[in-house]
């Protein structure tokens, strides 16, 4: 009973504190952000946020437009290009995402691993050499199989070369790699800005708003980039998983609970 009462009083105190802070901020509606008694570094970070977000949105739109324009021209492999050994390449679209093909058992779709001209050439030469060796033996056991795979892989070299040449041609013509690199840079820039914002110490309710706006901006980033950033980030700052906690602590500090 006492714990519930204490908790209720704490929440009431926080609400009162935030209400007082908001009232003070509203008392001067025409005051410029730079004139508010707030950490100047945090204000500068907040001012930089719209441009960083727009840079990401523009880069994201560029990539999306290129994908929409060039995906219909992306080559489709034939089943003979599927490779079950080591060293193949996963079939991906121009956007880098895996593409399923209906080559599985009973027509089930799967993402195929595709052989390259180099792989098929090496395997042809290996089986051809094995066929020559076996043809000189008395039993010639395995000769038929070796010849079959030698001929099969030799026949696929040219189709594989044509397929991957078309992949390279469309990749170069579309400019997708440069666009994706620009998008990755924009994601990194926005991430670093949000990270710095969440790490900065606020001194007023204005700082809390800036941090909330930063999280809102990061919320517009595609989830795959958030995950990639979380996994690959070498930053020593506040991790993404702690950003929401930092905002909560800022709210509690300005409400007088911390």
- The string of DSSP letters for 191-222 reads HHHHHHHHHSPP-SHHHHHHHHHHHHHHTTS-
pLDDT score, position 34: 46
Q: With bands split at pLDDT 50, 70 and 90, how would you rate the model's confidence at 26?
A: low
Which residue is associated with the tokens 């094995």? 130
pLDDT score, position 5: 40
pLDDT score, position 246: 83
For residues 189-213, give the mean pLDDT. Answer: 90
For residues 22-41, give the mean pLDDT. Answer: 60
pLDDT score, position 38: 84
Q: With bands split at pLDDT 50, 70 and 90, how would you rate the model's confidence at 152?
A: very high
pLDDT score, position 8: 47
pLDDT score, position 138: 85
For residues 175-200, give the mean pLDDT. Answer: 94
Q: What is the pTM of this model?
A: 0.77
- What residue ranges in the chain does DSSP mark as E strands? 89-90, 113-114
Residue 232, pLDDT above cutoff 90 = no
């Amino acid at each position: 009973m006492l714990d519930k009462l204490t908790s209720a009083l704490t929440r009431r105190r926080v609400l009162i504190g935030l209400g007082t802070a908001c009232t003070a901020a509203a008392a001067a509606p025409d005051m410029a952000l730079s004139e508010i008694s707030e950490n100047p570094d945090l204000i500068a970070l907040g001012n930089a946020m719209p441009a960083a977000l727009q840079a990401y949105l523009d880069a994201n739109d560029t990539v999306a437009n290129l994908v929409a324009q060039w995906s219909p021209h992306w080559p489709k492999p034939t089943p003979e290009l599927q490779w079950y050994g080591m060293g193949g390449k996963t079939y991906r679209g121009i956007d880098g995402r895996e593409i399923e093909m209906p080559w599985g058992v009973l027509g089930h779709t799967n993402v195929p691993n595709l052989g390259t001209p180099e792989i098929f050439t090496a395997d042809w030469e290996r089986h051809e050499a094995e066929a020559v060796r076996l043809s000189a033996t008395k039993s010639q056991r395995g000769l038929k199989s070796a010849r079959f795979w030698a001929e099969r892989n030799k026949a696929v070299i040219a189709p594989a070369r044509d397929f991957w040449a078309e992949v390279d041609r469309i990749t170069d013509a579309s400019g997708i790699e440069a666009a994706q690199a620009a998008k990755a840079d924009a994601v990194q820039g926005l991430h670093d800005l949000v990270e710095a914002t969440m790490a900065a110490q606020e001194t007023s309710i204005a700082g809390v708003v800036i941090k909330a706006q930063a999280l809102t901006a990061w919320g517009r980033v595609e989830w795959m980039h958030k995950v990639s950033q979380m996994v690959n980030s070498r930053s020593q700052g506040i991790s993404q998983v702690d950003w929401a906690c930092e905002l909560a602590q800022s709210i509690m500090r300005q409400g007088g609970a911390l």
